[in-house]
Amino acid sequence: MKLISICFCFVFVSLSLSGCNPSGDAGSAGGSDGTIDLLVKGDFVVTMDQDNTIIEDGAIAIDDGLILAVGPAAEIEAEYPAVETLDGAHRIVMPGLINGHSHAAMTLLRGVADDLALMDWLQNYIFPAEVEFVDPEFVRIGTELACWEMLRGGTTTFVDMYYYPDTIAEVVERCGMRALISATVIDQRSPDAESAADSLTKGLGFIGRWKDRNPRITPIFGPHANYTLNAEQLQATRRAADSMGVPISIHVSESPFELQYSQDTYGMTSIEFYESIGFFNGPTIAAHVVWPTEDEIPILVERRVGVIHNPTSNMKIASGISPVADMLQAGVLVGLGTDGAASNNDLDMWEEMRLAALLQKVDRMDPEVMSATTVLTMATRGGAEAIGLGDAIGSLEVGKQADVIQVAFTDVHHIPTYDVVSHLVYVTDEQDVASVVVDGKVLMKDHKLLTIDTDQVRAEANALAAKIKTALDARNATPPALNE
Ligand SMILES: [Zn+2]
């Protein structure tokens, strides 16, 4: 970790003249009076660039959604008068966190069924509850609740997989976050489709409506898994994604059940199966990858499959311990995710970072196997690369999108501070995040959310949850029919 307190301004300012402005016209940056949109300051700026540069008493200059300059605060302030400044006393500035795998609206099913194995949980609780309760209104309220929780905790980008993706996209558009939103493809009756073919057709419609509509929103396909879709259906989804020029997000090698199913059905392990049908020929974000074999890890490297590690979900459902350190060492692109709030039960990326580090250490009985810097990279720059946005987000560098957070280092658990990266991974909580900027827009300032009416979301979520509870209680009180 390189610590820089002086003499960085010239490097970044000179870079900013060419890198800040895609048109190459440096004169067009900023307002007509020479001001830029925003300055974000901090006692430390943790850039997460390739050198892991940290700037003491630093600032980020932001205009028109892009990072113009990064450097010592005094020099950045002198060079870039700004319309708005987020002060940085006792605050760390860093890239927004990237949640690489979520089912956002499942916040409304938080705690509805716990302490079960994956297939029991899915088939006997989650899938039936979803068919019964999930509609566009459920998805709207659940996604708003999730955006509130993620923004509050410093997540600026997420990769979602759920139903009614148009509704998800509308919420993301309003709340100002960045997201890859999957049209779920699954071969069973689901809340928004009757079959794999139906969900694929509807997914094509969603992607057509949202592709190129909002630069913060990337519509993608989300085939569920190789135990809820067969080879032909998976290949059809890959072809559809390729035809639309979009990536795929999918659950891969998540549980022992999936491994057994894959062997029994396809005669090979999951990742070998996907490779055998050409599924990895296009950009793929693979959630979980708990059980890759030694032979499969090179496939992930060669195909540049982005792997998303979800340690809380893997631990809670007892799916297993993903060999993240091995995959990173082999060159796999690995990010972090929360999975849905029904299997986590929150959307706290700080907890995922902490658990990712601790789980590898105890699994390998080696405290050096996963450092704080490695884990912080997975939640930022590494996560961006895993989801295909490495050129746009994930680090605080000139020319990248301005997705920036401030973390307050005022709580007792940050005292004293010897190493900011250590604290960010092993100490910081969601509640420490003070301000959040996405695409150059301030979405949370001094802990106050500016794009989400939290009182309304709280009331709507509690009202809907009360209806769900009443229905579940009634169902549980009714003896099952003989044919069930
Ligand atoms: Zn999932």
* pLDDT recorded at residue 482: 46
Give me the mean pLDDT over the 207-233 stretch: 98
Instruction: Compute the distance from residue 340 Cα to the ligand 1 centre, in Å.
Output: 6
Instruction: Compute the distance from residue 313 Cα to the ligand 1 centre, in Å.
Output: 9
> What values do phi and psi take at 32, rounded to 5?
-65, -20
Give me the mean pLDDT over the 286-311 stretch: 98
pLDDT digits (tens, 9 = 90+) for 314-346: 999 999 999 999 999 999 999 999 999 988 999
- Dihedral sign of CA atoms 149, 155, 157, 162 in order: negative
Instruction: Compute the distance from residue 101 Cα to the ligand 1 centre, in Å.
Output: 6
By C-alpha distance, which of 52, 69, 10, 19 is closest to 395?
52
Instruction: Compute the distance from residue 339 Cα to the ligand 1 centre, in Å.
Output: 5
Instruction: Compute the distance from residue 251 Cα to the ligand 1 centre, in Å.
Output: 6
Instruction: Compute the distance from residue 110 Cα to the ligand 1 centre, in Å.
Output: 14
Q: Average pLDDT, whole number, for the chain? A: 91
**Residue 21: band (very low, low, confident or very high) from pLDDT cuts 50, 70, 90:** very low
Q: Which residue has the tokens 């002086």?
A: 6
* pLDDT recorded at residue 118: 82
Instruction: Compute the distance from residue 447 Cα to the ligand 1 centre, in Å.
Output: 29
**Residue 471: band (very low, low, confident or very high) from pLDDT cuts 50, 70, 90:** confident
By C-alpha distance, which of 395, 350, 406 is closest to 43?
406
Length of the chain equals 484
Instruction: Compute the distance from residue 287 Cα to the ligand 1 centre, in Å.
Output: 7
Q: How far apart, in Å, are the Cα atoms of 233 and each of 18, 57, 159, 199, 351?
A: 46, 54, 22, 11, 36
Who's near 230: CB < 8 A, 6+ residues apart?
A: 187
Instruction: Compute the distance from residue 360 Cα to the ligand 1 centre, in Å.
Output: 21
Give, in degrees to the nearest 5, the angle at Cα 246 between 244 and 248.
Answer: 125
Instruction: Compute the distance from residue 343 Cα to the ligand 1 centre, in Å.
Output: 9
Instruction: Compute the distance from residue 268 Cα to the ligand 1 centre, in Å.
Output: 22
By C-alpha distance, which of 307, 312, 243, 321 is closest to 274?
307
Instruction: Compute the distance from residue 342 Cα to the ligand 1 centre, in Å.
Output: 10
**Residue 123: band (very low, low, confident or very high) from pLDDT cuts 50, 70, 90:** confident
pLDDT digits (tens, 9 = 90+) for 38-88: 999 999 999 999 999 999 999 999 999 999 999 999 999 999 999 999 999
Cα separation, 62 vs 59, in Å, equals 10
**Residue 474: band (very low, low, confident or very high) from pLDDT cuts 50, 70, 90:** confident
Q: Which amino acid is at 351?
A: E
pLDDT digits (tens, 9 = 90+) for 401-429: 999 999 999 999 999 999 999 999 999 99
Phi-psi sector, 175: left (phi>0), alpha (psi -120 to 50), beta: alpha
How many Å separate Cα 90 from the centre of its chain? 27
